[in-house]
Every structure is written in C-alpha cells, then in structure tokens.
C-alpha cells in the first residue's frame, strides 16, 4: 500500500509540471536574497517598449537629430544676409592742412572723427558651395536616423537575451524544486523502509547526495536569476533591488522569405549596409564640397549711418551711405584644397571598402543564423522524442518497481531523467525563439514597433 502511495505521488508531481511563470517561487528567492517583488509578470512587448522609450543610449543618439537639424539650418544661413551695427571714434593728430596765399589755411580733416552705421552684407551667388553644404547636412541627418534604428535593433537583441534567460532560470528553478520535493518524499519513504529493514543505509546516503547536488544547482540558478533581474532593472531604469517575474512568450511570427532570397533581402534592409552606403554617399558629397571651396563668391554690401569730416563743417555729423557689389576669386591657397581633395578621395575608397566588408559580414551572419535556426528545430524534435521516451521509461519503472524488479534508486533515476529532459526541451524552445529573432535581426526585419 505504501509503495502504491509513493508511485502515485511521483506521478502526480510529473503531471503538475507545466510551462508557466512561477511568481510564488520568485517570492521565495526574493525573501531569501533580500529583493523586493513588484507587480505582475512582465510581457516582452512591454519591456521592449519601456526600454526603447527611456534607455539613455537611445536618448543620446536621438539628441543627435537636434544637432543634425541645427547643422542644416546653419548650412542654409549661407544664403541669409548679415546685419551689424558699428560705431567708432578716432583721434587724428597731426591733421592735414592746406594754405592758399591770400585765402588762408584750410583743414582737410577733423581731429575727432566719429562714425556710426548699419552694415549689410549678403552672398548672392557662390557657385554651388551653399547648396552642396545643405545637401550634405540633410544626408547626414539620414545617417543619424539609420544609426538610431541600428541602435534600437541591437538593444532589442540584448533585451531578448535577458528576457528569455529569466524565463529559462525561473522554469529551471521550478524543476529543481520539483526534484527536491520528490527526493525528500523518497528520502522519507526509504527512511521508513530502513526502520523495518526493507532498505539499506546506502539508499539513504545516495538520496542525501542527490538532494545536496540539486540544492547546489538550485542555488546557482537563483544567483543567476538575481543577476539577470539586475540587468533587466538596469534596462528599465528600476532600482537594483527590484525583481519581476516574466511571462513566457514562445510565439514568434515565422519568416516568410524564401531561403534562396535571404541574403539579397538582408543586403537591401539591414541598417548596417544602409549606414555604410550613407557614409559612402557623404564621403562623395564631401569631395564635391571641397572642390567648390575655391569657387568665386559674388556678394553685395551696403552701409548707412552718420559720420563727420565733411567740408565745409568738418565737425558736423552727416548722414551717409555706401553700397556696392563684390567679387572674390581665390588664386592661391598654399595647396590646401588639393590636399583636402586627396584626403576626401581616400575617404571615399575607405567607405567603399567598409561597405564591402559589411556585405560579407552580413552574408556570413545570415548563413550562421539560418543554420542555427534549423539546428534548434531539430533539437526540439529530438528533445520531444527524448521526453516521450523518458516518460515511457518512467511508466515502465513504476511497474517494475511495484513488482520489485528495480530498486528505489532506479525509480528515482527515472523520475530525475524526466525532469532533466523537460529542462532540455525548455532550453531548446528558448534557443529556437532566440534563433528566430537573430535571423530576423540579420535580415533587417525590425524587432520593435
């Protein structure tokens, strides 16, 4: 009768197991480690949204958009007029005088000279210099936008790895708790049998060793969970002593791109390749800008104000104005423009080589990600088969144990194998989810909304 009760307990323990978050268990860890739990289990979508909206590195890059807009406005200012107000006082001594016999001496300029006015200056044509600068800064803004997209994509992959690490650790701890429960029940059972002479001291010692091993594994898992919870807190901007359970989410939208089109799709959509091409475009535009630096500049200027020094009353302040048209033609710049062109041309070649390197890296990443995804699917099939076989072996062990064909330890090994196989199946499912996301990221499919 006792044997049947023991087998029933083991069977019930295995049937109770399911892939669900273990918030109660998290409370146990929290109470032991001094960490406070808050709220319900977090969803993956919520974590991604919250991190992308508040993470400092993303905010820092987004601030670069304001700088890019300011640079565009600054480039456009080349078309805008310049106004300024100037005023001056000059003391001249000696002064110029002319004497005419019979007419007296005439003073040509005053000792105290006053001048004040409004100055206006505007470039009316610079042969493409300003327009090319504006186009360059607009293209630079596009580069910033693509950089933000790349940073978000990489940050989401960090979130995914952290999130599913927590999913795995929570479930692994749950399995270890189930193992400990079964082992302790088994220890009680064989201890009672030992009292009647039906079990040996060896069985008791072996069970105690298994309990100690599982407890040690559980401690490692709890420590790892706290570490991953700390990473999640850092991502979310929470306090370091806060921990939330996470909801399991194994649903990933399947990739509908034909396998023979993966590389071509990635080369069209990856942020890295777009950024590299933008850099090449900017290098080419910078070369064209440098070529215009020695272009002529036509400008108009004007000044209106008041000054003294006009004959016949040299000290009287009179209104005056000056207006004109100017032309500036650079003739020699000490070969600066020539050397700048050489540097710009080298930058173009460097950017082209970088684009080719990125293309090769993306190709390798696609091949590797696709292979890993395929392997993860095979591991799921293998682990599902192993779990099925482990359960069958457990059922056979139950029957054999009832008839005394195997020992208590053999029965215990069968239950442990089922638990460990379930853990392997969980890991393979999580690996499959991560591999799916990695392939999507490698293809340039956005992992965030």
pLDDT in tens, 273-287: 999 999 999 999 999
222-229 mean pLDDT? 93
Helices in 252-335 by DSSP H: which ranges?
Answer: 262-269, 271-291
pLDDT higher than 70, residue 23:
no
* Maximal CA-CA distance, the chain: 153
Burial class (CB in 10 A: 0-12, 13-18, 19+), 403: exposed
pLDDT higher than 50, residue 260:
yes
CA-to-CA distance for 89 and 112, rounded, in angstroms? 7
pLDDT higher than 50, residue 188:
yes
What residues does each domain of the chain span?
A: 2-81+127-295+333-443
Contact 123, 79 (CB under 8 A): yes
Contact 25, 178 (CB under 8 A): no
CA-to-CA distance for 113 and 119, rounded, in angstroms? 19
Q: How far is CA 422 from CA 380, 383, 416, in A?
A: 11, 8, 10
Query: Is residue 113 classed as helix, strand or coil in its secondary structure?
Result: strand
Query: pLDDT-derived band of residue 415, with 50, 70 and 90 as boundaries?
Result: confident
CA-to-CA distance for 50 and 42, rounded, in angstroms? 11
9-23, 289-303, 376-390, 410-424: least confidently modelled range: 9-23
Percent of residues, the chain, with pLDDT higher than 90:
63
371: which 2 tokens?
């292979």
CA-to-CA distance for 228 and 38, rounded, in angstroms? 16
173-184 mean pLDDT? 90
Query: pLDDT-derived band of residue 155, with 50, 70 and 90 as boundaries?
Result: very high
158-185 mean pLDDT? 92
How many whole angstroms from its chain centre is CA 263?
23
- From the list 241, 216, 292, 238, the residue with the least C-alpha distance to 54 is 238
How many whole angstroms from its chain centre is CA 355?
21
Burial class (CB in 10 A: 0-12, 13-18, 19+), 60: exposed
Query: pLDDT-derived band of residue 98, with 50, 70 and 90 as boundaries?
Result: confident
pTM recorded for the entire structure: 0.79
CA-to-CA distance for 121 and 107, rounded, in angstroms? 34
CA-to-CA distance for 252 and 44, rounded, in angstroms? 12
pLDDT in tens, 331-365: 988 899 999 999 999 999 999 999 999 999 999 99
Query: Is residue 302 classed as helix, strand or coil in its secondary structure?
Result: strand
pLDDT higher than 80, residue 408:
no
How many C-beta neighbours within 10 Å does residue 417 have? 18
What's residue 58's pLDDT? 93
CA-to-CA distance for 142 and 261, rounded, in angstroms? 27
14-18, 95-99, 274-278, 351-355: least confidently modelled range: 14-18
- Which backbone phi and psi does 307 adopt, to 5 degrees? -155, 165
Residue in this structure with the two tokens 């064909």, named with its chain if needed: 405
- Which backbone phi and psi does 12 adopt, to 5 degrees? -65, -40
Query: pLDDT-derived band of residue 40, with 50, 70 and 90 as boundaries?
Result: low
CA-to-CA distance for 237 and 245, rounded, in angstroms? 16
Percent of residues, the chain, with pLDDT higher than 70:
91
Instruction: Kindly report the CATH class assigned to 2-81+127-295+333-443.
Output: mainly alpha
Query: pLDDT-derived band of residue 289, with 50, 70 and 90 as boundaries?
Result: very high
How many CA within 13 A on the CB side of residue 70? 5
pLDDT higher than 70, residue 8:
no
pLDDT higher than 70, residue 448:
yes
CA-to-CA distance for 275 and 359, rounded, in angstroms? 12
Contact 106, 92 (CB under 8 A): no
- From the list 395, 39, 13, the residue with the least C-alpha distance to 245 is 39
């Amino acid at each position: 009768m006792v044997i049947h009760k023991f087998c029933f307990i083991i069977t019930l323990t295995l049937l109770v197991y399911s892939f669900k978050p273990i918030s109660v268990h998290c409370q146990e860890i929290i109470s032991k480690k001094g960490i406070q739990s808050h709220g319900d289990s977090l969803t993956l979508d919520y974590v991604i949204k919250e991190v992308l909206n508040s993470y400092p590195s993303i905010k820092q890059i987004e601030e670069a958009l304001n700088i890019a807009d300011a640079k565009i406005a600054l480039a456009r200012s080349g078309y805008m007029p310049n106004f300024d107000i100037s005023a001056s006082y000059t003391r001249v001594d000696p002064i110029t005088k002319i004497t005419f016999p019979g007419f007296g001496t005439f003073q040509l300029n005053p000792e105290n000279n006053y001048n004040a006015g409004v100055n206006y200056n505007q470039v009316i044509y610079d042969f493409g210099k300003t327009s090319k600068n504006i186009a360059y800064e607009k293209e630079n803004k596009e580069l910033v936008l693509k950089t933000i997209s790349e940073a978000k994509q990489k940050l989401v992959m960090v979130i995914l790895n952290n999130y599913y690490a927590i999913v795995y650790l929570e479930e692994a701890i749950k399995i270890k708790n189930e193992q400990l429960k079964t082992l302790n029940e088994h220890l009680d059972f064989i201890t009672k049998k030992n009292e009647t002479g039906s079990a040996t001291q060896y069985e008791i010692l072996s069970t105690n060793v298994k309990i100690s091993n599982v407890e040690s594994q559980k401690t490692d898992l709890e420590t790892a969970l706290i570490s991953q919870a700390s990473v999640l807190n850092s991502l979310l901007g929470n306090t370091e002593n806060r921990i939330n359970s996470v909801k399991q989410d194994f649903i990933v939208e399947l990739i509908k791109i034909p396998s023979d089109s993966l590389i071509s799709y990635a080369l069209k959509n990856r942020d890295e390749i777009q950024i590299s091409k933008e850099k090449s475009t900017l290098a080419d535009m910078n070369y064209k800008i440098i070529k215009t630096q020695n272009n002529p500049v036509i400008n108009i200027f004007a000044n209106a104000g008041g000054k003294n020094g006009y004959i016949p009353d040299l000290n009287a302040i009179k209104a005056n104005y000056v207006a004109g048209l100017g032309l500036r033609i650079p003739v020699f710049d000490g070969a600066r423009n020539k050397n700048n062109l050489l540097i710009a041309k080298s930058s173009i070649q460097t950017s082209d080589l970088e684009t080719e390197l990125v293309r090769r890296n993306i190709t390798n990443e696609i091949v590797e990600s696709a292979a890993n995804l395929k392997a993860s699917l095979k591991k799921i099939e293998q682990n599902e088969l192993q779990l099925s076989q482990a359960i069958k072996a457990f059922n056979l062990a139950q029957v054999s144990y009832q008839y005394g064909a195997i020992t208590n330890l053999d029965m215990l090994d069968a239950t442990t194998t089922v638990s460990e196989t379930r853990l392997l199946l969980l890991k393979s499912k999580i690996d499959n989810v991560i591999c799916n996301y990695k392939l999507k990221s490698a293809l340039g499919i956005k992992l965030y909304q």
